[in-house]
Amino acid sequence: MKAILQARHAEHFVLVTSPTHMKRAVAVFRAAGLAPYPSVTRVRSEGLPDGWALLPYESYLRLSSDAIYDYLALGYYWVRGRL
């Protein structure tokens, strides 16, 4: 990515990803010496139910799983020296 941006003389770019991945994505790009402008996508899609419920929805559990995965990945990247 860095080589592509340098070839086009671009110092900044818009980084588009979900809110659950944004923190890690920005950290990785900054560690590589790049300066992204973060722009998050919507978390909620039309398929997710409104409000709250007594029983958990599979789609909400999937969002929680994505967030947990990303925090673990952030720790892994830090341990491996990518941040």
pLDDT in tens, 44-71: 555 555 666 666 667 667 777 888 888 8
Residue linked to tokens 């790049």: 34
Domain that holds residue 20: 2-41+56-79
Please check whether residue 72 is in contact with residue 66, taking contact to mean a CB–CB distance below 8 angstroms.
no
Specify if 47 maps to a domain.
no
49 in a structural domain: no
Q: What is the pLDDT of residue 14?
A: 93
Segment 3-51, tens digit of pLDDT = 888 898 888 899 998 888 898 999 999 998 898 999 988 765 555 556 6
Bridge-partner residues for 35, per DSSP? 12
**Residue 31 resides in a domain:** yes
* Residue 39 phi, psi (nearest 5): -140, 110
pTM: 0.60
- Give the total number of structural domains in the chain: 1
Provide the pLDDT for residue 37: 94
33: in domain: yes
Beta-carbon contacts of residue 34 (< 8 Å; ≥ 6 apart): 1, 2, 5, 13
Residue 16 falls within a domain, yes or no?
A: yes
